[in-house]
Amino acid sequence: MSGRRPNGLRVLLVEDQLLVARDIEAMLLELGCLVVGPVGRLSQALPLAMTEPLDAAILDVNLDDDSAAPVAAELARRRVPFVLVTGYIRPALSPIFADRVIVEKPFTGKDIETAIWAMCS
């Protein structure tokens, strides 16, 4: 995806808080991205991560009582870049998330835009 612009990117959005998901979705749409989802459960996200053609993803680390780690592992296996949205500090995260860009809650539209651009470069 190196050198691509956000316009037209297919971005999987995994976030279990509906209002947060809608905010991120609006931000992605404003950037010209095509949003896959949003979905808020591991059972919904994992099949999309496995089968959808994706350019990038935004993952909430915790989905209700589940971890997004299986989704992250699948995306990593497919070499789909992703960023994390979380309120947790890095040392508290699973090692699978260790080298990923983190957008901390609460965030701004600029934070999401910066994360998307980082995945494009």
C-alpha closest to that of 14 among 80, 79, 77: 80
Fold of 10-120: Rossmann fold (3.40.50)
C-alpha closest to that of 112 among 36, 27, 37: 27
Residue pLDDT, tens place only, 1-23: 445 567 789 999 999 999 999 99
Average pLDDT of the segment spanning 106-118: 88
What is residue 91's predicted lDDT score, i.e. its pLDDT?
47
Domain chopping of the chain, boundaries: 10-120
Residue pLDDT, tens place only, 84-96: 988 766 545 677 7
Burial 2-20 (b: 16+ CB within 10 A, else e): eeeebeebebbbbbbbeeb
What is residue 90's predicted lDDT score, i.e. its pLDDT?
57
Q: What is the pTM of this model?
A: 0.89
What percentage of the chain has pLDDT greater than the value 70? Answer: 88
Average pLDDT of the segment spanning 34-53: 97
C-alpha closest to that of 108 among 1, 30, 12, 6: 30
